[in-house]
Amino acid sequence: MLLEGKRLVITGVVTDDSIAWHVARIAQEQGAEIVLTSFGRGLRLTERAAKRLPESVDVLELDINEPAHMEAVVADLASRWGAVDGALHAIAYAPQDALGGNFLNTPSESAKIAFETSAFSYKTLAVGLLPLIRAAGGGSLVTLDFDNTQAWPIYDWMGVAKAALQAVTRYLARDLGADHIRVNAVSAGPLSTIAAKSIPGFQSLERAWLQRSPIEWDSSDPTPVAQMVALLLSDWTAMTTGEVVHVDGGFHAVAAGWRE
């Protein structure tokens, strides 16, 4: 199996329609042992979603912006496994006043929150897990991205944060390569998850994908994205790092829509 024997940390599971939940499902189906992370009011939702996975799994408390939480997770993993082979970073958040066409009026504090939680947190997770991945002899880190090479009508400061996330991916790849740690991002098309539905005007993105992607995009199916994450977490991508891999039906490669 693709992930036989891998010990993986999966962040970002809220419900069983999330990309991270499907990554967790596929990882288990491919032989990995996993733990999930969550915190606050979402913790109970994550525990409920965890019960729907093929095998029971523990949920560790992790608010990525709380150093004590990261330390506690690392201590748990050290005693549980002694080493970690990889992790999915599926953490993003922007206050409502940083989204929905409010770009010019967004206060700096909201933009900072979006950056710290959605981009800087990839570095936080990587550095926190670094001793455990070194103990495994190397591994793979993957984050979830959304194409930000263009300005979107509604994405605003989250788009800026995602641009930063891509840059963080490249710099982590630069600095962690010597430890045989690969660092990549998966840029997914719009998917109808709880997180996506919280973005004002999300339906306009779905309509754009239906018109423009060469392969017809299904916003209700996270499986193709999750499969790519699983591939990047596996040993089959041993020389792939610093990449942003698009799983978007080819939308990013086509200049204009063509479907009626």
Write out pLDDT tens, residues 122-149. Answer: 999 999 999 999 999 999 999 999 988 8
- Distance between CA atoms of 27 and 1, rounded to whole angstroms? 10
Average per-residue pLDDT for the chain:
94
* Active-site amino acid positions: 155, 162
The number of angstroms, rounded, from the C-alpha of 208 to the middle of its chain's C-alpha atoms is 22
Q: What does the radius of gyration of the chain's CA atoms come to, in whole angstroms? A: 18
Q: What is the maximal distance between C-alpha atoms in the chain?
A: 57
Residue 227 amino acid letter = Q
DSSP conformation class of 260: -
For residue 211, what are the contacts with CB-CB under 8 A and spacing of at least 6? Answer: 257, 258, 259
Q: Where are the domains of the chain?
A: 7-247
pLDDT digits (tens, 9 = 90+) for 10-68: 999 999 999 999 999 999 999 999 999 999 999 999 999 999 999 999 999 999 999 99
CATH 1.10.620.20 fits 7-247, yes or no: no
Helix (H, G, I), strand (E, B) or coil at 188: strand
Q: pLDDT per residue over 138-187, tens digit each?
A: 999 999 999 888 898 888 999 999 999 999 999 999 999 999 999 999 99
Contact 145, 170 (CB under 8 A): no
Contact 131, 74 (CB under 8 A): yes
Percent of the chain with pLDDT over 90: 81
Joined tokens for residue 36? 């999930």
Gap between the Cα atoms of 27 and 6, Å rounded: 9
Q: Count of CB atoms within 10 A of residue 14's CB?
A: 19
Looking from the CA of 39 toward its CB, the CA atoms found within 13 Å total 13
The type of residue at 100 is G
Per-residue exposure over 99-111, b if at least 16 CB sit within 10 Å of its own CB, e if not: bbebbeebeeebb
Q: Is 149 exposed, middle or buried (0-12, 13-18, 19+ CB in 10 A)?
A: exposed
- 136: which residues sit within 8 A by CB, 6+ positions away? 7, 83, 84, 85
Q: Say yes or no to pLDDT of 194 above 70.
A: no
